[in-house]
C-alpha cells in the first residue's frame, strides 16, 4: 500500500494542477519516489497545527532546513532587539560622550582655577611662604657701621694699611662688632707692583682676598701705590642682617612699614660664609602701612654690609 500525507480523508486532495513524477527507467523495486504537489497559496493557520493522523511518509516528517547563519527564531529575535534598541542606543551613547566631555572640561577648569587662586594667595600673603622670624620693632638708634677697634698711624707700612682696610671691610660685611685679624702670604712695601693673597679671620671664619698692588711709586721721601682686593666669599651673621634690615625698612622715606610686619628668616645662621655680592637663600620682608603691599627682599652681602634686593 502506498503511504501518502493525504491518507486522512479530512485532508484536502491534490487538485488538477498537481503533478506526479515517475522514474523514466525501469529497475528493481526500491523505495517509493517522493511525490511533489503544488497547491494554491493558503492563509497561514491561526492556531496550533494538529499533528498528522495518518502514517508518516517515508523518511520521517517533512521539515525545512534552517536558514544559513542560525535558526530563524534566533535571527528574528536579534533583529527585533536591534530594532527596539537602535533608536535608544545611539542617544544613550551620545549622552555618555557629552557627559565625559563636560567632566574633563570641568576638571581642567577647576585645576586652572585652583592654581590661579594659589598664586593669588602667594602674591597677596608672601609672609606665609617667606620670612617667618619674629617681628622686629623700629630701631631706637641710628645704624652704625662696625669698624676695627684701632687704625694704623701715618707711619704704618703698606702691608699694615692694606690689612686694616681688609679687616674693616669684613666687619662691615658681617654687620657686627667682632674680632678681625688679617695676614698675607708674603711681605710687600708698596714700592713695586705685586699680587699677594691675604686672609682675614673673623670670629674663626676665614675670608680670603686676592690683593693687587699697582701704580707703585717710590721716592726718597714717600711711597705711593693703589690696591684692589677681590673676594669670592663674605661673612653673614643673623644679628648683622636683622640690624641692617630694621634700619633699611624703618629708615626709608619711600615706604612706611606697618608695625609688627618687619621680619627676617627665622633660620638665619649666627655666622656663615656665603657668596660675595650673590643672592643668598635668606629673605626679609615687611608690609607697607600705606598701600598694604608686601615687600620681600633677598639678602645680599657686599662690601657695604648686608643689603636687600
Is residue 181 within 8 Å of 164, Cβ to Cβ? no
**Where do the domains of the chain lie?**
158-233, 238-308
Any residues with CB less than 8 A from the CB of 57 and at least 6 apart, and which? 3, 4, 5, 34
Residues 81-100 have pLDDT tens digits of 555 655 666 666 777 666 76
Give the phi and the psi of residue 87 in degrees, each rounded to 5: -65, -20
Tell me the per-residue pLDDT of 65-86, one tens digit each, with 9 for 90 and over: 555 544 444 455 555 555 565 5
Return the SS3 of 34: coil
- Residue 190: which residues within 8 A CB-CB, separation 6 or more? 158, 213, 216, 218, 223, 224, 225
Give residue-wise pLDDT tens across range 181-213. Answer: 999 999 999 999 999 999 999 999 999 999 999
Q: Which residue has the cell 574633563?
A: 104
- What separation in angstroms does the CA of 295 have from each of 127, 264, 287? 10, 12, 6
Give the pLDDT confidence of 262-302 residue by residue, as tens digits. Answer: 999 999 999 999 999 999 999 999 999 999 999 999 999 99
CB 177 within 8 A of CB 192: no
State residue 163's pLDDT score. Answer: 98
Which residues on adjacent β-strands are paired with residue 70? none
Q: Report yes or no on whether pTM surpasses 0.75.
A: no
Q: What is the pLDDT of residue 154?
A: 85
Amino acid at each position: 500500500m502506498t503511504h501518502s500525507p493525504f491518507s486522512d480523508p479530512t485532508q484536502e486532495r491534490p487538485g488538477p494542477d498537481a503533478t506526479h513524477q515517475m522514474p523514466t527507467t525501469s529497475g528493481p523495486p526500491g523505495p517509493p519516489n517522493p511525490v511533489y504537489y503544488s497547491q494554491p497559496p493558503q492563509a497561514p493557520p491561526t492556531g496550533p497545527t494538529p499533528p498528522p493522523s495518518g502514517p508518516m511518509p517515508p523518511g520521517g516528517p517533512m521539515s525545512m532546513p534552517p536558514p544559513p547563519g542560525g535558526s530563524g527564531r534566533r535571527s528574528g529575535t536579534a533583529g527585533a532587539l536591534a530594532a527596539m534598541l537602535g533608536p535608544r542606543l545611539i542617544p544613550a551613547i551620545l549622552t555618555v560622550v557629552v557627559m565625559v566631555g563636560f567632566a574633563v572640561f570641568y576638571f581642567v577648569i577647576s585645576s586652572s582655577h585652583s592654581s590661579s587662586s594659589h598664586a593669588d594667595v602667594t602674591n597677596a600673603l608672601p609672609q606665609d611662604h617667606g620670612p617667618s622670624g619674629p617681628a622686629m620693632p623700629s630701631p631706637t638708634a641710628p645704624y652704625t657701621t662696625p669698624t676695627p677697634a684701632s687704625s694704623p698711624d701715618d707711619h704704618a707700612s703698606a702691608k699694615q694699611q692694606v690689612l686694616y682696610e681688609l679687616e674693616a671691610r669684613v666687619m662691615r660685611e658681617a654687620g657686627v662688632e667682632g674680632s678681625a685679624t688679617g695676614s698675607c702670604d708674603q711681605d710687600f712695601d708698596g714700592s713695586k707692583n705685586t699680587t699677594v693673597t691675604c686672609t682675614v679671620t673673623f670670629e674663626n671664619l676665614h675670608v680670603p682676598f686676592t690683593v693687587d698692588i699697582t701704580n707703585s711709586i717710590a721716592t726718597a721721601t714717600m711711597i705711593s701705590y693703589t690696591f684692589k682686593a677681590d673676594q669670592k666669599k663674605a661673612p653673614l651673621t643673623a644679628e648683622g642682617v636683622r640690624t641692617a634690615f630694621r634700619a633699611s625698612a624703618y629708615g626709608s622715606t619711600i615706604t612706611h612699614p606697618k608695625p609688627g610686619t618687619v621680619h627676617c628668616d627665622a633660620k638665619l645662621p649666627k655666622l656663615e660664609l656665603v657668596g660675595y655680592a650673590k643672592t643668598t637663600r635668606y629673605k626679609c620682608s615687611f608690609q607697607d602701612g600705606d598701600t598694604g603691599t608686601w615687600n620681600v627682599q633677598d639678602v645680599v652681602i657686599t662690601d657695604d654690609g648686608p643689603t636687600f634686593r
